[in-house]
Structure formats: structure tokens, C-alpha cells
């Protein structure tokens, strides 16, 4: 398969669906709010989470359509989390994906509300998706629950709290892992789970997909940490060395750069071996795994 073409096609599918689902079923959002939400939602994100949800259903030979509203919900929640993370009271970032951050353009109050709006609308969109597929009602509810649990106080929001609190301390491996599994890992894992649930995975298939999701969720953040040191602004859209500047708890800070790269490669192996029983239908999931890890830790040949 041609991964680059696959990703572009899926990004287009996700973007088209996002635009369609954002138009509210009732109550028009104020113009400025709508603009602020779309500014961060359509700012060149790679759509990794929605594409993972779709690719997981695909690995099961399932239809993609019922997964789409959940794929969009995942991306809306991801977009909200970036808007809030960049706020002056949090990481105070003025650049994201090479563009001024939301609060720089719209002001702090509007950025908070744009984030709140994206988060809430994500659940509206997922609930509408669930209502549109009554024959999958239970699976859709479980998927919605997965997303809420992964995004909530025990997941992504909790991870951001640990991240803020860690800026004061020397990062240990335990601390870094606790942050990353919650802050990034939980939502990536949820994306894979959502595809499994809506794709009708058997318990055994679901377990395998979950192993894959857990491994790439952590791998994603490890490679992000490495790229913050080695990547440069053109690759990350952020200022290089920004994490070190903020004294962020990262893997390289906790265990060094070389061991971080070895860990990323190990997680790639774990992810790929979990996919073994799925055969060719899981090829997109395999390629996405390479895409994530190879950015920072190319396979040794």
C-alpha cells in the first residue's frame, strides 16, 4: 500500500465529515466562536486519532461509516486539548503547527470557550452517530464511554495536571510514564478501541487491538519527546527545545536520548506483533505504527 496516498485520502474523508457534522442540529453558534473552533480544528492536524479508529475497524473488515462520527469526536477532543494546553495559564505557547495559537488570534477568553465548545460538540457529534446506528446502540455507547473516560480526569485531563505539576521536579521514568500514558496514550488507545468496538471485534481481537493501541500510544509520545530535541520547528511546528525550556517531564530527560530511541523501537515491535493475527487487513495499522516511530527512531537495517 501507498501510505502517503492512504493518509491523504483518509484526512480528506475526516475533514469532509468534520465540516458536515460541525453544522449544528439545533442552535447556531455565534460567528466568532464558530471561527475560533474551526481555526484550531482545521489547522493542518495529521488526523492520527481518527485515522487510527478507522484503520482498526478496517482491520476487522468492518464498514467505516458508523465509525466516522466517533473518529471526528476524537479529533475535536484532541483539538480542544491543544487549545487549552497552549493557554498562558498552561504551557503559554504562541506557536502551534507553525501558526499563532488560538488565544493569540482570538484572545484568552474566546480560546477557553472555543476549547469548551469543541469538547462539548464532540459528544454531541458522537451521540448523533450513535443515534443514527441503532442496531449498534450498545457498541456505540461503549465507544462513547471509552472516549469520555480516556479524555477525563483519570485520562488526558489528569495527564495534563501531572504534566503541569512535574515542571517543578526532576522527572523520573515513573513520573514520565504516568504523564504520557494519560496525556497522549489514553486517547490514542481509545481511538483504536473505538474502531474495535464499532467494527465488531471479538474479545480476543479487541485485546490484540488494545495491545497495539497501548504500545503506539506510548511510542507516539516518546518519539514526540525525541523530536522536540532533534526535530526542529519545520518538523514539529513548535519551537525546538521548547520542552527543555519549560523543564517538561520527557523521556530523554528521564532516561536519556539513546534509551528513549531504544524504547520507541521496542514499542514498535510490541505493536506490530500484536497485529500478527489480523493479516493483510491490518496493513494500514502497521504502516501507521512505522509512520509514528520512524519519525524519530528509524528502523536499524
Query: Residue 230 corresponds to which cell in the numbers above?
Result: 532533534
Toward its own copies, which CB reaches closer, 76 or 296? Answer: 76
C-alpha closest to that of 180 among 230, 228, 241, 245: 228
Cα 78 to Cα 96, 144, 256, 275, distances in angstroms: 13, 15, 28, 25
Query: Residue 140 corresponds to which cell in the numbers above?
Result: 456505540
CA gap 250, 223 in Å, rounded: 10
Does residue 191 belong to the site contacting its own copies (CB under 8 A)? Answer: no
Toward its own copies, which CB reaches closer, 168 or 234? Answer: 168
**In contact, 217 and 159? CB cutoff 8 Å:** no
Exposure of 28 by Cβ count < 10 A (0-12 exposed, 13-18 middle, 19+ buried)?
exposed
Q: Sketch the per residue contact string, 127 through 166, with its own copies: x for CB under 8 A, - otherwise.
A: xx-xx--x--xx-xxx-xx--xx-xxxxx-xx-xxx-xx-
Q: Binding to its own copies (CB under 8 A): which residues in 1-60? A: 24-30, 32-34, 37
Toward its own copies, which CB reaches closer, 91 or 225? Answer: 91
Toward its own copies, which CB reaches closer, 42 or 233? Answer: 42
Does residue 90 belong to the site contacting its own copies (CB under 8 A)? Answer: yes
Query: Minimum CB separation from its own copies for residue 285, in Å?
Result: 24
Query: Residue 211 corresponds to which cell in the numbers above?
Result: 495491545
Positions in the binding site for its own copies (CB under 8 A): 24-30, 32-34, 37, 80, 84, 87, 89-90, 107-110, 112-113, 115-117, 119-121, 123-124, 127-128, 130-131, 134, 137-138, 140-142, 144-145, 148-149, 151-155, 157-158, 160-162, 164-165, 182, 186
Amino acid at each position: 500500500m501507498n501510505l502517503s496516498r492512504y493518509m491523504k485520502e483518509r484526512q480528506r474523508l475526516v475533514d469532509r465529515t468534520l465540516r458536515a457534522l460541525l453544522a449544528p442540529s439545533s442552535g447556531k453558534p455565534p460567528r466568532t466562536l464558530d471561527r475560533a473552533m474551526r481555526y484550531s480544528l482545521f489547522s493542518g492536524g495529521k488526523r492520527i486519532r481518527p485515522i487510527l479508529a478507522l484503520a482498526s475497524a478496517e482491520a476487522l473488515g468492518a464498514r467505516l461509516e458508523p465509525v466516522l462520527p466517533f473518529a471526528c469526536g476524537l479529533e475535536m477532543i484532541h483539538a480542544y486539548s491543544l487549545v487549552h494546553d497552549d493557554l498562558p495559564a498552561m504551557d503559554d505557547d504562541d506557536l502551534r503547527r507553525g501558526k499563532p495559537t488560538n488565544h493569540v488570534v482570538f484572545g484568552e477568553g474566546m480560546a477557553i470557550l472555543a476549547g469548551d465548545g469543541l469538547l462539548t460538540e464532540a459528544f454531541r457529534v458522537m451521540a448523533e452517530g450513535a443515534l443514527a446506528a441503532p442496531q449498534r446502540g450498545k457498541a456505540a455507547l461503549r465507544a462513547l464511554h471509552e472516549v469520555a473516560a480516556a479524555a477525563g480526569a483519570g485520562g488526558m485531563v489528569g495527564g495534563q495536571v501531572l504534566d503541569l505539576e512535574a515542571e517543578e521536579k526532576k522527572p523520573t521514568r515513573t513520573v514520565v510514564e504516568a504523564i504520557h500514558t494519560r496525556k497522549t496514550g489514553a486517547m490514542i488507545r481509545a481511538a483504536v478501541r473505538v474502531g474495535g468496538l464499532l467494527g465488531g471485534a471479538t474479545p480476543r481481537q479487541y485485546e490484540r487491538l488494545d495491545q497495539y493501541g497501548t504500545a503506539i500510544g506510548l511510542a507516539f509520545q516518546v518519539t514526540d519527546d525525541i523530536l522536540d530535541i532533534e526535530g526542529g520547528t519545520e518538523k514539529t511546528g513548535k519551537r525546538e527545545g521548547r520542552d527543555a525550556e519549560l523543564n517538561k517531564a520527557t523521556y530523554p530527560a528521564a532516561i536519556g536520548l539513546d534509551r528513549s530511541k531504544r524504547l520507541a523501537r521496542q514499542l514498535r515491535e510490541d505493536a506490530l506483533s500484536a497485529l500478527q493475527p489480523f493479516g493483510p487487513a491490518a496493513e494500514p495499522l502497521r504502516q501507521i505504527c512505522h509512520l509514528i516511530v520512524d519519525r524519530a527512531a528509524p528502523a536499524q537495517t
